[in-house]
């Protein structure tokens, strides 16, 4: 799973990556036959698709997280042109993955409350575990509050690489 700290047209309270830094990420070294999940924002959808193609992946699905408040109401956040109620992610594959994927087990729409800023919802980890059970899983651009047992995590804000 990749959740880039996209450099967008809003001021963000954390370090971000430029488009070129994102494209130069050396993930291709590790990837021969995989599934990849990239969180994207509207401003960077084309860049995320370019990254996928550049590494030899094929976009096969997309999913979304419909955000709720802690009281269960739809969470509204400012977008560039419209109010946003959800975040989207792209699912792509590289190579033959039939022995890796459990088809039709994971639902691509997740409804869950927001948490701390940049903190991923627990259900995304369950989604990925359902889609690709019993696999080595890597998260890139991990924040300290997103570190999960059983995942390998990398991020510029981690105290050290997490396993």
Can you tell me the mean pLDDT for 107-124? 85
- Please answer whether residues 5 and 17 qualify as being in contact, where contact means their C-beta atoms are separated by less than 8 angstroms: yes
Highest mean pLDDT among 71-75, 82-86, 158-162: 71-75
Can you tell me the mean pLDDT for 59-76? 92
Higher per-residue pLDDT: 73 or 81: 73
Rounded CA Rg of the chain: 15
Tokens of 115: 């948490």
The band of 8, judged by pLDDT with boundaries at 50, 70 and 90, is: confident
Alpha helix stretches (DSSP H) within 61-161: 122-131
């Amino acid at each position: 799973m990749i959740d880039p700290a996209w450099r967008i047209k809003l001021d963000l309270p954390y370090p971000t990556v430029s488009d070129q830094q994102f494209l130069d990420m050396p993930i291709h070294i590790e990837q021969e036959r995989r599934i990849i999940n990239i969180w994207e924002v509207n401003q960077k959808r084309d860049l995320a698709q370019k990254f996928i193609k550049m590494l030899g992946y094929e976009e096969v699905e997309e999913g979304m997280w419909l955000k709720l408040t802690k009281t269960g109401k739809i969470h509204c956040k400012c977008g560039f042109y419209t109010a946003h109620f959800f975040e989207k992610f792209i699912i792509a594959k590289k190579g033959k993955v039939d022995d890796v994927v459990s088809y039709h087990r994971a639902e691509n729409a997740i409804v869950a409350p927001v948490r701390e800023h940049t903190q991923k919802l627990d259900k995304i980890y369950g989604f990925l575990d359902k889609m690709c059970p019993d696999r080595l899983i890597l998260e890139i651009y991990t924040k300290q509050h997103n570190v999960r047992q059983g995942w390998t995590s990398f991020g510029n804000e981690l105290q050290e690489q997490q396993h």
